[in-house]
Amino acid sequence: MVKTPVFKGSCTAIVTPFCEHGVDYERLRKNIDFQYENGTSAIVVCGTTGENATHSANEHEEIVRFTIRENRGRMKVIAGVGSNNTLSALKNAENAKYAGADAILMVTPYYNKSTQKGLIEHFSYVADRVDIPMILYNVPSRTGIGISAETYKTLSAHPNINGVKEASGDFSLVARTRSLCGDELYIWSGNDDNTIPMMAIGALGVISVASNLVPAVVSKLCALCLESDFKGATELYGKYAALFSALFIETNPIPIKAAMKLLDMDSGLLRLPLTDISEAHLATLRSVMRDCGLNA
């Protein structure tokens, strides 16, 4: 069976707008509409940027259901289901499938520090039991464990494993994975500042943090790359490179939530252990945004 990529272009790892009593669903609805109106192809809900580690089991399930219902089929919806407990990841995947998600995003199991064999069994355990496209998520700076090209090759043979969000920053790994797996494992950049070089070697787009703030820009950047207009893409990227960098001046999603508030986009509260951005970094972020033409 030939695999079809879950999406091409820009996918927003959408923030979760928390309030004192839980989740501000009206604000989440507005954020979903904003993404669609600005050319976003897909959204990831309950991912790292959505502070999924602080969601209760009931919140996770409800956020996924709400997003799918309010999206109304306009964009692909990908539910973050990752856990360092394989059975918890399976439960989240089952809930996402039942709710009507288009795909699931599953990060490497953090803290446990499994072997490559353990990674294969962890991802395969869920993929064997839930018939939904799975996007792997490789972000060793967060989890302490990375996926090797050989492990990607093994996992790519599974019909339900569709691709990977590659946030290792290792272009040699990405190139070797493309060589080994071809279209059995699609690749998306997991870092905004890696989008152009990764798409130049075969990635199909980006799962983006910055597109919470500037979705039309990220969508256009991906479109130019998909058209092989890397000169145009580089010119566009140059206008926003400092912003893409500043959005990681502190741990994600601290800066992106602060940046959204500077544009009067209510991104909600952060949940502990994350705290508000420092005054010094907020001043830097505001300055960078103004330099990009954003009215911060």
List active site positions: 137, 165
Name which of 63, 65, 78, 81 is nearest 27 in CA terms. 63
229: which 2 tokens? 């207009």
How far is it, in rounded angstroms, from Cα 173 to Cα 128? 26
CB atoms within 10 A of CB 88: 14
Name which of 117, 115, 147 is nearest 134 in CA terms. 147
DSSP state of 211: G
C-alpha distances (whole Å) from 143 to each of 6, 68, 122, 167, 221 are 24, 28, 14, 11, 28
Count helices and strands in the chain by DSSP H and E runs? 12, 10
How far is CA 275 from its chain centroid? 21
Q: 3-state SS of 71-85?
A: HCCCCEEEEECCCCC
173: which 2 tokens? 């790994």
Residue in this structure with the two tokens 């972000």, named with its chain if needed: 139
